[in-house]
Amino acid sequence: MSRRALITGITGQDGTYLARHLMESGYEVFGMVRGQGRPYTRDGSPLHPDIRVVSGDLLDQTSLIAAVEQSSPTEVYNLGALSFVPVSWKQPTVAAEVTGKGVLRMLEAIRSAAGLSSSRTTSSGVPRFYQASTSEMFGKVRETPQSEATPFHPRSPYGVAKTFGHYMVQNYRESYGMFAVSGILFNHESPIRGPEFVTRKVSLAAAAVKLGLMDKLRLGNLDAERDWGFAGDYVRGMAMMLAQDDPEDLVLGTGITHQVRDLVEFAFAHVGLDWRDHVEVDPRLLRPAEVELLCADLSRARQKLGWKPEVSFEELVAMMVDSDLRLLTGSENAAGEAVLEQAGLW
């Protein structure tokens, strides 16, 4: 049987990279969207013409069942979520419905379409399921680095919703024998990361200041530490997790942390600027409950999958700044101005 993947969140950063990776690996890829006639990816380009679009909404159970039945996937990747953490405080119920209960609805759609009804019933026709869990579930961390055994203490509605989804995957795996896994992914970025995220906001600002389009960047907590990697590396790990002989939730990260201050310093230095001349701390941008330190223990993923990241933090930041320099100059300038406005920089 040919390999067929159904991806929710196909138009986002991870969906874009994952679809590209799977197509290069010989998959037939289906992307689930909420009824758009011509869906566009995060970077503003239309979906690849070889991606087959199916309609579905993580808020609507019936549409999810139809999407699974229509695509008949061998693998389902649930990447759809309300993924920008600060918004989850403004819209906590939406975060719960989409990011949390959306996982349950997707699992139920697979169970229903496959006809699973009795406990621990397995079938070769049931698609394998990947859930995009997150290091934000660790929140107020109990230990560093964080592994698959580290207790969760989420510090945002987003983290709480993701934790619910994570445990539902575990429950369906144990209750129905489904091959269902969660990838506990630490922060992963790219040139097509949404402009509202701090990494992209910093790369855009460094490029814009260099080009004379702005002078000051305002940020919140510069001391927060994150384990940042390249999204293209992490989607390889997603596919590898569904290729395991036995389902197992795994942590994916670099094992190296940097402060937001380091991110800013590298980005501005890449264009020959001193960040201290252009960056100000704005207390209004601080989170209600901050996650201070996230660092991955990726030893299990190395052992089980042979996975490791290939792009360094410095290479990632340079890649993003260079991409935004191109975006803000030449024929792409109009699109660049729109992205600056989205990022709140204009």
Candidate list 28, 75, 136, 265, residue with the active-site label: 136
Q: Are 133 and 165 in contact (CB under 8 A)?
A: yes
Among residues 202, 222, 213, 232, the alpha carbon closest in space to that of 321 is found at 202
Q: Closest Cα to residue 56, out of 106, 19, 14?
A: 106
Number of residues that this document lists for the chain? 346
Task: Label the pairing between strands 28-33 and 52-55.
Answer: parallel
Catalytic residue check, 189: no
If DSSP codes are grouped into helix, strand and coil, which group holds residue 149?
coil
Strands of 180-302 (E only): list them.
Answer: 180-185, 188-189, 217-219, 225-226, 229-230, 250-252, 258-259, 279-281
Coil, strand, or helix at residue 332? helix
As a dihedral over the C-alpha atoms of residue 104, residue 105, residue 110, residue 113, rounded to 10 degrees, the angle is: 140
* Residue 136, CB-side half-sphere exposure with 13 Å CA sphere: 24
Please tell me the distance from the alpha carbon of residue 242 to that of residue 114, in angstroms, as a whole number.
Answer: 18
Active site residue 134: yes
DSSP per-residue string spanning 106-118:
HHHHHHHHHT--S
Q: Is 62 marked active-site?
A: no
- Of 41, 74, 134, 163, which residue is the catalytic one? 134
Residue 234 CB burial class (10 angstroms; 0-12, 13-18, ≥19): buried
Beta strands in 227-320 (DSSP E): 229-230, 250-252, 258-259, 279-281
Of the residues 158, 172, 176, 234, only one is catalytic, namely 158
Q: How far apart are the first and last CA of the chain?
A: 51
Q: Which residues are catalytic?
A: 134, 136, 158
